[in-house]
Amino acid sequence: MAQLRLGIIGGGLMGKEICSALARWCHISVGSVEPVVTAICDTNPEARAWFTERVPTIALATSDYRELLASSDVDAVYCAVPHNLHRALYCDLLSAGKHLFGEKPFGIDAEANAAIAAEAARHPELVVRCSSQYPFFPACQRIVRDAREGRFGALLEVEAGFLHSSDMDLRKPKNWKRDVAINGAYGCMGDLGMHVLHLPLRLGWSPRNVRAILSNVVPERPGPDGTMLPTETWDNATLLCEADGPGGAFPLTLKTQRMAPGEMNTWYLTVKGAEFSAHFSTKHPRTLLTMPYRRGEVQAWHQEDVGYQSVYPAVTGAIFEFGFPDAVQQMVAAFCDQVVQGPHAELPFACASLDETRRHHAVLTAALASHASCQVVSISDVHDERSR
């Protein structure tokens, strides 16, 4: 079994989740690889201490990411930093010869994403993947299988969304995601859009155009001293796209919202087809709704408890529940498996690819243009303009 030495840059919430997933690696069966965390980088000493106090395999704890990249004890890096740092850190990471597992949106804008892709092209031996854990839920994998087997028939409509209520508190202090210079002009779309677009893009449901409605619902929030400061980024976004799929074009609706009443952290996907339909939401993580269409029969949703049926087999019994930490661990397993087997190896299900991040940037860039013009915008036209 190959040992994969992993460094973590960014010791925040997701850095801890990744580390936790690796700490219980015996939970799943990935016979090709044994990952260990050997290095941590964060500018906050308390964040670094969380890792060094809990992970005995860490040999390097530093505030300088360049020191981590120079370490011969690091093969791959999970990188979770603000969006404005993606271009510099991801490119430096690849230039240093490290496999990259990065957070979305993989560049603050399309130009930054293209620069990361150009650097990756100079290192074809490296695995480059983007974090997106929700498709690893068992019910989601059932929808993937149904789509690949052609069960839906001609697609009538698809809706995907990621909804939060985290910003419903109008006095919630302003954070970096409210500054265009740090978060980017995409706003909530940059932070949540890869999650929403991952499966449509993977399944070949490619948007042709978009009509976007973007909302900055709360124009100012309290700063560190309580003074009200302007918030520059979008709270909510609704994108209506015309997409290509089996049977021709169909409407694809994408929602990313930070102000969605009653939604703590809800990811969902609804696929309606002429022959079969399906719906899954993390609000009910073990439940898959399906509706086969049979002429002359009653049309009714069927509810099925999917249970623990993971991409990579685990010790948890099939009758038990699958949750967010499990999805994160399955995603990490796919990344590690890809590193060991090679960039072009076929996996049971792979993490979001560099090309998928490019295509999601094209959609979000077109969405900005659509909202600004109050018109439908062709995604290929925006991409071609950016390429010139």
SS3 246: coil
Peptide bond into 261 cis (omega under 30): no
SS3 314: strand
Are residues 103 and 211 located together in one domain of the fold?
A: no
Kindly report the backbone phi and psi dihedral angles of residue 132, in degrees, each rounded to the nearest multiple of 5, phi listed first.
-165, 100
Query: Considering Cα of 129, then 133, then 134, then 135, what sign does the dihedral take?
Result: positive
Opening angle at CA 354, ends 346 and 159, nearest 5 = 90
Are residues 228 and 257 located together in one domain of the fold?
A: yes
- Dig out the tokens for 169 from the structure: 């508190």
CATH (domain of 29): 3.40.50.720
Q: What is the pLDDT of residues 290-328, one digit of tens each?
A: 999 999 999 999 999 999 999 999 999 999 999 999 999
Are residues 138 and 125 located together in one domain of the fold?
A: no
Contact between 272 and 156 (Cβ < 8 Å)? yes
Are residues 157 and 255 located together in one domain of the fold?
A: yes
Inside any domain, residue 257: yes
Q: What is the pLDDT of residue 388?
A: 47
Q: What is the pLDDT of residues 218-242, one digit of tens each?
A: 999 999 999 999 999 999 999 999 9
pTM assigned to the model: 0.95
Which residues lie closer than 8 Å to 354 by C-beta, 6 or more apart? 106, 116, 117, 120, 128, 129, 130
- 53 alpha carbon, distance to own chain's centre: 29
Last residue of a domain, one of 81, 99, 130: 130
- Dig out the tokens for 324 from the structure: 């967010």
- 171 alpha carbon, distance to own chain's centre: 28
Inside any domain, residue 351: yes
Inside any domain, residue 378: no
Are residues 117 and 139 located together in one domain of the fold?
A: no
Last residue of a domain, one of 108, 130, 152: 130
Are residues 168 and 86 located together in one domain of the fold?
A: no
Q: What is the pLDDT of residues 179-232, one digit of tens each?
A: 999 999 999 999 999 999 999 999 999 999 999 999 999 999 999 999 999 999
163 pLDDT exceeds 70?
Answer: yes
Are residues 177 and 81 located together in one domain of the fold?
A: no
70 pLDDT exceeds 90?
Answer: yes
Are residues 106 and 229 located together in one domain of the fold?
A: no
Inside any domain, residue 381: no
387 pLDDT exceeds 50?
Answer: no
Residues in the chain: 388
Which domain, by its residues, includes 45? 2-130
DSSP 8-state class, residue 28: B
DSSP 8-state class, residue 362: H
Interatomic CA distance for residues 367 and 238, integer angstroms: 9
Q: What is the pLDDT of residue 257?
A: 97
Q: What is the pLDDT of residue 247?
A: 84
Q: What is the pLDDT of residue 381?
A: 65
Interatomic CA distance for residues 86 and 9, integer angstroms: 11
Q: What is the pLDDT of residues 345-370, one digit of tens each?
A: 999 999 999 999 999 999 999 999 99
Inside any domain, residue 385: no
Distances (CA, A) of 213 to 17, 189, 217, 234, 262: 33, 11, 12, 10, 21
Interatomic CA distance for residues 33 and 255, integer angstroms: 36
Q: What percent of the chain has pLDDT over 90?
A: 94
Q: What is the pLDDT of residue 95?
A: 98
Opening angle at CA 81, ends 76 and 86, nearest 5 = 80
Are residues 161 and 18 located together in one domain of the fold?
A: no
Interatomic CA distance for residues 255 and 235, integer angstroms: 11
Q: What is the pLDDT of residue 31?
A: 76
Interatomic CA distance for residues 241 and 377, integer angstroms: 9
Are residues 30 and 166 located together in one domain of the fold?
A: no
- Average pLDDT in the 30-53 region? 94
Last residue of a domain, one of 130, 161, 183: 130
CA atoms within 13 A on the CB side of 140: 29
Tally of domains in the chain = 2
State the chain's mean pLDDT as an integer.
95
Q: What is the pLDDT of residue 44?
A: 97
Residue 335: its H or E element: helix 324-341
Q: What is the pLDDT of residue 180?
A: 97
DSSP string covering 102-127 = E-TTSSSSHHHHHHHHHHHHT-TTS-
CATH (domain of 314): 3.30.360.10
pLDDT band at 32 (very low <50, low <70, confident <90, very high): confident
Which residues lie closer than 8 Å to 284 by C-beta, 6 or more apart? none
Q: What is the pLDDT of residue 30?
A: 82
1 pLDDT exceeds 80?
Answer: no
The DSSP bridge partners found for residue 3 are: 34
Kindly report the backbone phi and psi dihedral angles of residue 24, in degrees, each rounded to the nearest multiple of 5, phi listed first.
-110, 40
Q: What is the pLDDT of residue 377?
A: 98
Inside any domain, residue 266: yes
Are residues 188 and 214 located together in one domain of the fold?
A: yes
Are residues 94 and 124 located together in one domain of the fold?
A: yes
Mode of pairing for the β-strands spanning 128-130 and 99-102? parallel
Interatomic CA distance for residues 236 and 259, integer angstroms: 7
Which residues lie closer than 8 Å to 107 by C-beta, 6 or more apart? 83, 86, 87, 90, 113, 114, 115, 116, 357, 361
- Average pLDDT in the 32-51 region? 95
- Average pLDDT in the 254-265 region? 96
- Average pLDDT in the 47-55 region? 97
Distances (CA, A) of 150 to 154, 273, 276, 290: 9, 10, 9, 14
